[in-house]
Chain A
Amino acid sequence: MKKALLAGVAFAIGLGLVAAHAADKVTIQLKWVADGQFAGYYVAKDKGFYKDAGLDVTVAPGGPDIAPEQVIANGRADVIVDWMPAALAAREKGVPLVNIAQPFKRSGLELTCRNESGIKSPADFKGKTLGVWFYGNEYPFLAWMAKLGLKTDGSPDGIKVIKQGFNVDPLLQKQADCISTMTYNEYWQVIEAGVKPEDLTVFNYTDQGVATLEDGLYVLEGKLKDPKFVETMAKFVKASMKGWDYTRAHPDEAVKIVLDNDASGAQTEQHQIHMVADVNKLTEGSDGTLDTAAADNTVKTLLSSGGDSPVITKPPVGAWTSAVTDAAKKL
């Protein structure tokens, strides 16, 4: 009896070892809460794309009090989703993040203005109150205002900046003439609050030439020296991109998967339908390969944003690599 028990335990441990060996564990830390912005990763997990690639992936949702850069610096994630301005800032401050893939080809950042404020073009900004996200999102904005020659320090010939939280209240309450929105999220919050699209004027940062790259995949530089890690990441990127392809092909199913993965229950179906549809526009045509011209443009935008405490003071060296996406293409 005892022997049988021992044998059983040994067998179970053996099984566990085989299973642990079979799947490489990968933890991805998202930049924000579980929603359509990260549909591709949830789809890849739920549809078994990661499993098929021999990966055991944990998708960790973020939130307002979670800094992905800190999570990865402390070894609690292997790869993070981050915006390039924040990643480059962290790199200069000692967390050596490297972009290994760029699933989001286009920027979803925009400035949404009420028509009644009289703003028809960027020339009308002077003297207006604009809501801006901080946490690194202010740099494309500051670069844009620098380009327009508008001061942001509250002087009369400039514009008035207010720090906007992660909601659209300032516009709804008419405390700001324009607010920051993402095509796929806050813009729809404004619409869902009852504002008609024809009452809004929207300026996309890409159209203004000051867009920065969003939602890239970043890892710690040191780990890339390990060929095994590069291989694991290549599998991860390939499976993730398959998840994004699937999300574009089956948006309805993707919405369902996102809602299933929202442990907080805070997301509504209607909002996620809008979100997945607009996020799909941003990932379209990307196989994960970083467009280095866009990355250079991001750096240029950040360096021209000025201010007394610039996000980066010099162009970064080695902040992105094609090693992972090159390997992914050979898989």
Chain B
Amino acid sequence: MTAFQSRGWLLSGVLILLSAFFPLADAAAPGFAPQAVLYAAALVFLLVGGRRRPGGASFAAALVLLVASAAALTAIVHRPDVAGGASWGFWLKAVGLWLASWMAVDGIADGEKAGASRWHDLAPAVLFGATLLALWEWIVAGFGIQPINLLAPSAIGAAVGYYAQTLVQDFVWTFLREVLLGWLVGSGAGFAVALVADRIPFLRRGLLPLGNIVSALPIVGIAPVMIWWFSYEWPSKTAVVIAMTFFPMLVNTVAGLAATGSLERDLMRSYGATYWPTLVRLRLPAAMPFIFNGLKINSTLAMIGAIVAEYFDGPTMGMGFRINTRAALSDSGIVWAEIAVAMVAGSLFYGIIALVERAVTFWHPSYRRA
């Protein structure tokens, strides 16, 4: 426990206690029940602040109280007399809890440094994410921000549930046909052309500068062109994804194939290995970090490309179509729900590729555990 942390815990306790002397909202009716949790929290933060060891029982108690207080504050901010008109009494509590959460993350991260379990790896990220969501919820509800400007996380969650069927349909349409197929074909073609370019220096010198130009092409420019070429159906959207993912893969693979040192290549030559064995046994494995780099870049590019491509003329289905058309109707619920699905899908897609990469390039220095 650092001096910084102990002061932080103390301050958060003071803030929450202090908030008792200010009204919750301009028109707040007296309601003590959820507030009691907050003052109990303040007492704990004040009394034991500075004496907690991460992993110890009192630290765990503080964490439990922190979560309970956040839930209590969320209940308070949704009370009709507080929502939209929250005042000093509320915001002092919010700042106090945010500070306590910061100190908790800081404390757990200290424990991590000291060499700890998997729980310590995950907990700071989870706690930090939860804090952001809670602050978001409090600010939206507390200030009464209009749904057209920003939706609270709870409302987005409700929208995901309400529109589940549409979301699944759109996801299947956009992700399987446009993102996944486009990513596979685009990356595959980039990889294949890189192998050819590697054999023919003329192509390598000619194609790579061109790659830079094409990777700078704006999607909004190529999307209409693809529609002219491939009709209004989904293939024109897939084509946009292919065009976007081709060159990052090409450039990365070419760079990867050039990554082996002359020592290793000389060794292969001394074994009498010809082009193909050298490629398969030495150069492709060495290129894997580059190839996976390309695949990871392309996973996010493919999501962006497919969604933006659907903004243009085409079928009446898909995540981009829904975001585009429903945003115009101020239908913020489904728009945020689609964004949430896209975010989760994009992160999972990226994460899965990163996991495969870890398995394939286990030999790479960055994965060697001390």
Identify which of residues 304-353 in chain B touch chain A, using a CB-to-CB cut-off of 8 Å: 312-316, 321, 324-334
Q: Tell whether B148 is near chain A: CB-to-CB under 8 Å.
A: yes
Q: Tell whether A173 is near chain B: CB-to-CB under 8 Å.
A: yes
Q: Tell whether B232 is near chain A: CB-to-CB under 8 Å.
A: yes
Mask, A133-149, CB within 8 Å of B = 1, is: 01110100000000000
A-side contacts of B333, CB under 8 Å? 93
Q: Tell whether A186 is near chain B: CB-to-CB under 8 Å.
A: no
Q: Tell whether A194 is near chain B: CB-to-CB under 8 Å.
A: no
Q: How far is the CB of B286 from chain A (nearest CB, A)?
A: 46
Residue among A94, A131, A135, A162 making CB contact with B148, cutoff 8 Å? A94
Q: How far is the CB of B45 from chain A (nearest CB, A)?
A: 37
Q: How far is the CB of B159 from chain A (nearest CB, A)?
A: 11
Identity of the chain B residue whose Cβ is nearest the Cβ of A139 in the assembled complex: B329
Q: Bound state CA distance, A169 and B313, in angstroms?
A: 10
Q: How far is the CB of A303 from chain B (nearest CB, A)?
A: 15
Q: A163-B316, A170-B313 are in contact. Are A93 and B327 (CB under 8 A)?
A: no
Q: Tell whether B146 is near chain A: CB-to-CB under 8 Å.
A: yes
- Interface pair B231/A93, CB less than 8 Å apart: no
- Interface pair A93/B330, CB less than 8 Å apart: yes
Q: Tell whether B262 is near chain A: CB-to-CB under 8 Å.
A: no
- Interface pair B334/A67, CB less than 8 Å apart: no
- Interface pair B148/A69, CB less than 8 Å apart: yes
A-side contacts of B325, CB under 8 Å? 134-135, 138, 163
Residue among B146, B312, B321, B331 making CB contact with A73, cutoff 8 Å? B146
- Interface pair A134/B146, CB less than 8 Å apart: no
Q: Bound state CA distance, A93 and B147, in angstroms?
A: 8
Residue among B149, B165, B316 making CB contact with A161, cutoff 8 Å? B316
Q: A165-B312, A169-B313 are in contact. Are A308 and B166 (CB under 8 A)?
A: yes
Q: Tell whether B163 is near chain A: CB-to-CB under 8 Å.
A: yes
- Interface pair A93/B148, CB less than 8 Å apart: yes
- Interface pair A89/B313, CB less than 8 Å apart: no
Identity of the chain A residue whose Cβ is nearest the Cβ of B334 in the assembled complex: A309
Q: Bound state CA distance, A170 and B228, in angstroms?
A: 9
- Interface pair A175/B231, CB less than 8 Å apart: yes
Q: A90-B330, A135-B328, A175-B231 are in contact. Are A162 and B149 (CB under 8 A)?
A: no
Q: How far is the CB of A198 from chain B (nearest CB, A)?
A: 27
Q: Tell whether A74 is near chain B: CB-to-CB under 8 Å.
A: yes
B-side contacts of A176, CB under 8 Å? 232
- Interface pair A70/B148, CB less than 8 Å apart: yes
Identify which of residues 205-237 in chain B touch chain A, using a CB-to-CB cut-off of 8 Å: 227-228, 231-232
Identity of the chain A residue whose Cβ is nearest the Cβ of B147 in the assembled complex: A94
Identify which of residues 66-102 in chain A touch chain B, using a CB-to-CB cut-off of 8 Å: 67, 69-70, 73-74, 86, 89-90, 93-95
Q: Bound state CA distance, A181 and B321, in angstroms?
A: 20
A-side contacts of B315, CB under 8 Å? 162-163
- Interface pair B328/A86, CB less than 8 Å apart: yes
Number of A-B contacts (CB under 8 A): 81
Q: Bound state CA distance, A73 and B327, in angstroms?
A: 14
- Interface pair B314/A162, CB less than 8 Å apart: yes
- Interface pair B329/A136, CB less than 8 Å apart: yes
Identity of the chain A residue whose Cβ is nearest the Cβ of B163 in the assembled complex: A309
Q: Bound state CA distance, A131 and B227, in angstroms?
A: 14
Residue among A93, A163, A164 making CB contact with B332, cutoff 8 Å? A93
Q: Tell whether A311 is near chain B: CB-to-CB under 8 Å.
A: yes
Q: Bound state CA distance, A73 and B145, in angstroms?
A: 11
Residue among B146, B313, B327 making CB contact with A164, cutoff 8 Å? B313
B-side contacts of A162, CB under 8 Å? 232, 313-316
- Interface pair B331/A89, CB less than 8 Å apart: yes
A-side contacts of B166, CB under 8 Å? 308-309
Q: How far is the CB of A309 from chain B (nearest CB, A)?
A: 7
Residue among B149, B165, B227, B328 making CB contact with A74, cutoff 8 Å? B149
Q: Bound state CA distance, A190 and B341, in angstroms?
A: 39
Identity of the chain B residue whose Cβ is nearest the Cβ of A308 in the assembled complex: B166
Identity of the chain B residue whose Cβ is nearest the Cβ of A165 in the assembled complex: B313
Q: Bound state CA distance, A86 and B325, in angstroms?
A: 11
Q: Bound state CA distance, A36 and B316, in angstroms?
A: 30
Residue among B163, B232, B324, B330 making CB contact with A69, cutoff 8 Å? B330
Q: How far is the CB of B222 from chain A (nearest CB, A)?
A: 15
A-side contacts of B149, CB under 8 Å? 70, 73-74
B-side contacts of A67, CB under 8 Å? 327-328, 330
Mask, A152-173, CB within 8 Å of B = 1, is: 1000000001111100011001
Q: A93-B147, A163-B321, A175-B232 are in contact. Are A70 and B330 (CB under 8 A)?
A: yes
- Interface pair B232/A73, CB less than 8 Å apart: no
- Interface pair A170/B163, CB less than 8 Å apart: no
Q: How far is the CB of A91 from chain B (nearest CB, A)?
A: 9
- Interface pair A89/B228, CB less than 8 Å apart: no
Q: How far is the CB of A142 from chain B (nearest CB, A)?
A: 10
Residue among B148, B232, B312, B316 making CB contact with A90, cutoff 8 Å? B148
Q: A94-B146, A175-B231 are in contact. Are A135 and B330 (CB under 8 A)?
A: no
Identity of the chain B residue whose Cβ is nearest the Cβ of A64 in the assembled complex: B328
B-side contacts of A311, CB under 8 Å? 329
Mask, B158-174, CB within 8 Å of A = 1, is: 00000101100000000
- Interface pair A93/B313, CB less than 8 Å apart: no
A-side contacts of B313, CB under 8 Å? 131, 162-165, 169-170
Mask, A244-263, CB within 8 Å of B = 1, is: 00000000000000000000
Which 6 A-B pairs give the minimum distances between C-beta atoms?
A135-B328, A134-B325, A90-B330, A89-B329, A165-B313, A93-B330
9 A-B residue contacts at CB 8 Å? A67-B330, A86-B330, A94-B330, A134-B321, A134-B328, A152-B316, A162-B314, A163-B321, A175-B231
A162-B313, A162-B315 provided; 11 other pairs, C-beta below 8 A? A73-B146, A73-B148, A86-B328, A90-B330, A94-B148, A134-B324, A135-B328, A163-B315, A163-B325, A165-B312, A170-B232
